[in-house]
């Protein structure tokens, strides 16, 4: 099944100059890139993205991590890939959530670490289901930032500006 998936190259990966390696590993899947940008992550965006972890003891640390608090600058690279079985292909490439349990040939196994506080610095985010991919892509991207019409949109008029938003 052709599907879309959100990938985030997290602040630890950017600080360690891993972007090129991550992108070339992803290229090997043959999936198509349909959106890409650098994002300064607001606390609100981080909290919405990780809303499912709100009750976990590590929630605050994960929010600080994705906002770049431990890695010098507040930025991530956000990408949308599209193609056959995109989610399972990219989850396999990323490896397990816990970098110590991830196969060493995966991105997280090769480059991730667990901090002394117990936070998983695991280099990349990859959506884990079509439902979450849709939610996450709509959160991180506007329709006009993607080169494929993935989900229904509507037209919004703001003064003289007409643009598309997610329906
Ligand atoms: P989660 O959504 O469960 O995993 P994944 O990123 O593989 O979809 O968790 C989100 C992030 O929270 C995860 O990438 C790293 C961090 N995390 C921890 O620091 N400790 C933990 O015990 C878990 C489960 C996650």
Mutate-to-test residue for ligand 1 from 97, 135, 136, highest number of ligand atoms within 8 A of CB: 97
Instruction: Exactly one of 49, 52, 125, 163 is catalytic; name it.
Output: 125
Q: Are 75 and 11 in contact (CB under 8 A)?
A: yes
Report field, pTM of the whole predicted structure over 0.95: yes
CATH code for the domain in which residue 161 is found: 3.30.70.141
- Please tell me if the CB atom of residue 106 comes closer than 6 angstroms to any atom of ligand 1: no
Distance of CA 116 from the midpoint of ligand 1 (Å): 16
**Residue pointed to by tokens 């292909």:** 89
- Please tell me if the CB atom of residue 127 comes closer than 6 angstroms to any atom of ligand 1: no
- Predicted confidence (pLDDT) per residue in 37-92, tens digit: 999 999 999 999 999 999 999 999 999 999 999 999 999 999 999 999 999 999 99
- Predicted confidence (pLDDT) per residue in 6-46, tens digit: 999 999 999 999 999 999 999 999 999 999 999 999 999 99
What pLDDT, on a 0 to 100 scale, did the predictor assign at position 166? 98
The count of domains in the chain is: 1
- The parent domain of residue 124 ranges over 2-166
Residue with CA nearest ligand 1 atom 13:
97
**Helix, strand, coil distribution of the chain in percent, nearest 5:** 35, 25, 40
Q: Would you call 125 a catalytic residue per the annotation?
A: yes
Residue 49 CB contacts under 8 Å (≥ 6 apart), including other chains: 66, 136, 139, 140
Give the three-state DSSP class for 38.
strand
């Amino acid at each position: 099944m052709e599907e879309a998936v959100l990938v985030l190259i997290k602040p630890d990966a950017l600080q360690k100059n891993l972007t090129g390696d991550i992108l070339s590993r992803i290229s090997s899947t043959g999936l198509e890139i349909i959106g890409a940008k650098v994002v300064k992550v607001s606390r609100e965006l981080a909290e919405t993205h990780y809303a499912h972890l709100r009750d976990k003891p590590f929630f605050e640390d994960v929010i600080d991590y994705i906002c770049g608090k431990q890695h010098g600058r507040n930025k991530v690279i956000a990408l949308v890939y599209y193609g056959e079985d995109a989610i399972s292909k990219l989850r396999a490439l990323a490896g397990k959530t816990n970098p110590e349990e991830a196969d060493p040939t995966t991105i997280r196994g090769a480059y991730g670490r667990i901090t002394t506080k117990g936070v998983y610095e695991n280099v990349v985010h990859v959506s884990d289901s079509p439902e979450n991919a849709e939610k996450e892509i709509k959160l991180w991207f506007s329709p006009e930032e993607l080169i494929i019409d993935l989900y229904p949109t509507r037209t919004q008029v703001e003064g003289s500006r007409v643009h598309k938003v997610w329906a």
